[in-house]
A and B are shown apart, each in its own frame.
Chain A
């Protein structure tokens, strides 16, 4: 047995054990470790990593001495114990993100405002040069969350897939492919190291009957969930998205999804954020999951319109994250061909109503495949404007009021200010990214003349009782 002897708070502690290779180690061998801090015991699942190697990963959440003891149905891996020291987190490590009211914060209390983007299959081609490019793009972007799939789609022919056997028609769904998962989790680690949350999508309905991933049966589904959780949960930047467009999978019922989400709860010792993303019949139907269910931490929504955000928040007091609201793009699908103006209008509508909106880009003609599928570079006009919006949102303090005027062109607006205090007022052009102060300090009511064009906002900042 080898294991880490020191680790930072919310870092990854790992135990490596040698064990049996015969039979089906993925199915036959049970392994976990009971980690103990003072009298508190937290049990983490282990997993088989191929070639007779077994691992347990653990994310300690307290500074000080920890101990562990393994539990296994294989004698030589049972009852192995050790101790290690947990030190303070390195700069930039604020721990996992959790829901706080209708917003989010890191475990150390630092506020977290999700500005997500999507590159569903950025790891699947194992193209290291493009992955490095994706990471560079993210690093210089406003985005701090990335939606990414574990499973490839039917039409893809990636070098490795999550299951063992011959791809695509001879897969052994009872065995996993450690090579695939080592690469996937390296991607999650890389995102962690640049401060990006990994919103990991466990299932999607895009198999097209090629590998049978949409209908693997309850036992395989749950073994898959357990394996992914055992491998990834110790990374602090992980979020669980049970599915993309859950309702487009005709082989599973809502009860099946409930069951999958409960299985995540059962295996994840850290209570990472959990949600599930719906499909839409655009402009007519959006089959949102019942986010009131106790295993849901936030409302992951696909919708074409951000204005129902108030209603979603009123119906369910959990954060609203509109993970998909159409992408800036020019392709032949209507989910992927709105303008940056349209996308930014939807961002401001959602954010000014207390929700969070996610980005995606499906611009053809710049690289082999667009960002939304494989990452790479971003070419659109929205990321700069999302960066501007992010700055505005992060500058909000108690006493800051934001009012988005939307796709209207009023010549003036009248703003009623909370009684008793004085306010400075600024005019924000969300498209040109300018902030223009309105002269003076204002009380009770201010009338602001406007340039008669859409996409403007007002920011009112309390400056005390002057």
Chain B
């Protein structure tokens, strides 16, 4: 299953008029994101319209992750939820660019037990001939994450680091789908500074816990990206574009290692280490004999500084002593 590399959140973008929708699509097309989490909102828009929007996303190469149970959709009992699933899933299942999310927050449905969620997810599977990815966004320690019916884990946590500790033994891919949005809103989860978003995204990526982006700056129409789509204005997005490039150049088989900074590694071939808030003056790496291309990446300034091609053995990499540095080492053929 290809889980990456990068998603954003625009829950109700498709409920707006055509002018705003085309702006949203243009923004997505030029963004680093290739998956958008959106609520199905099938009680507020027609299934025909929803299908058209999903097809438009397919046209720009973006996957629609449809959050089925969204608070405010007046689906507050399991019976209604089952009918909703039977309505929505068969209509959308033929589109190749669809994922299912049962809900982004099970705690908003106090009447639903763990058993109910599993049953609903099974129902989604029963109604889905396309076998699309299927998850529920839950706290990292929730037993729901581990139920067989879900194809991957989807975590709500204050940081990927916290989520990593709780999910490191999970046998399926785990995504950090709810981590807070960049913005200036009153809600602490909607007012993250861009520096924190970029730090979490890098930290999550080198732990293979990819962060889903969100943005909540209010635009001239009084709307925000993550509720209503529109235009992305935050300082994190261009930095996430660099991260996407770096991740795209990371071998699939790279595995997480931790000395005292998280690292993706293919021994003897590839190393990507992220130092985060730690101002290491330098880093050293013990690598097999060979020739290696060494680069220092400043994740905030968006610079990739080549240190040249160095001999294997012990590779010493001087760092500028500021936060947000990453080191990439790749074997030269």
Contact = CB atoms under 8 A, between A and B. Distances in A.
A454 B187 CA distance: 14
Given A282-B260, A330-B321, A411-B185, A337 B280 contact: yes
A334 to B, nearest CB: 4
A411 B24 CA distance: 24
B277 A338 contact: yes
B161 A409 contact: no
Given A283-B161, A410-B191, A412-B186, A342 B260 contact: no
A126 interface: no
A64 B10 CA distance: 76
Contacts of B184: 409-411, 452
B279 A406 contact: no
A367 B166 CA distance: 41
Given A408-B193, A412-B186, A334 B280 contact: yes
B196 interface: yes
Contacts of B165: 283-285
Given A283-B161, A406-B188, A410-B184, A332 B280 contact: yes
A355 to B, nearest CB: 18
B143 interface: no
Contacts of A409: 183-184, 191-193
B260 A339 contact: no
A337 B184 CA distance: 29
A417 interface: no
A364 B193 contact: no
A337 B196 contact: no
A410 B321 contact: no
A414 B282 CA distance: 44
Contacts of B158: 307
A410 B278 contact: no
Given A339-B279, A409-B191, A410-B191, A334 B186 contact: no
Contacts of B241: none
A156 interface: no
A403 to B, nearest CB: 11
B323 interface: yes
B307 interface: no
B281 interface: yes
A422 B328 CA distance: 57
B218 to A, nearest CB: 8
Contacts, number: 64
B contact patch SS: loop
B256 to A, nearest CB: 12
Residues of B in contact with A, size category: 20 to 34
A218 interface: no
A413 interface: yes
Residues of A in contact with B, size category: 20 to 34
A20 B290 CA distance: 70
B329 to A, nearest CB: 18
A331 B278 CA distance: 9
Interface in A120-170: none
- Most-contacted residue by chain A among B164, B279, B321 (CB, 10 A): B279
- Most-contacted residue by chain A among B161, B278, B279 (CB, 10 A): B278
B194 to A, nearest CB: 9
Nearest to A328: B279
B193 A454 contact: yes
B261 interface: yes
A339 B192 contact: no
A330 B279 contact: yes
A266 interface: no
A332 B186 CA distance: 37
Contacts of B277: 338-339, 342
A252 interface: no
Nearest to A365: B281
Contacts of A413: 186
A407 B260 contact: no
A338 B277 CA distance: 6
B279 A338 contact: yes
A333 B275 CA distance: 11
A408 B278 contact: no
A34 B86 CA distance: 84
Contacts of A330: 279, 281, 321
Interface string B161-200: 1001100000000000000000111111001110010000
A324 to B, nearest CB: 15
Given A332-B281, A409-B184, 16 more contacts: A282-B260, A284-B258, A307-B158, A329-B279, A334-B280, A337-B279, A337-B280, A342-B277, A407-B193, A408-B188, A409-B192, A410-B186, A410-B187, A410-B191, A412-B186, A453-B193
Interface of A: 282-285, 307, 329-334, 337-339, 342, 364, 405-414, 452-454
8 contacts: A284-B258, A285-B165, A334-B280, A337-B280, A339-B277, A409-B184, A412-B186, A454-B193
Nearest 5 CB-CB pairings of A with B: A408-B191, A410-B191, A411-B184, A337-B279, A334-B278
Interface of B: 158, 161, 164-165, 183-188, 191-193, 196, 258, 260-261, 277-283, 321, 323
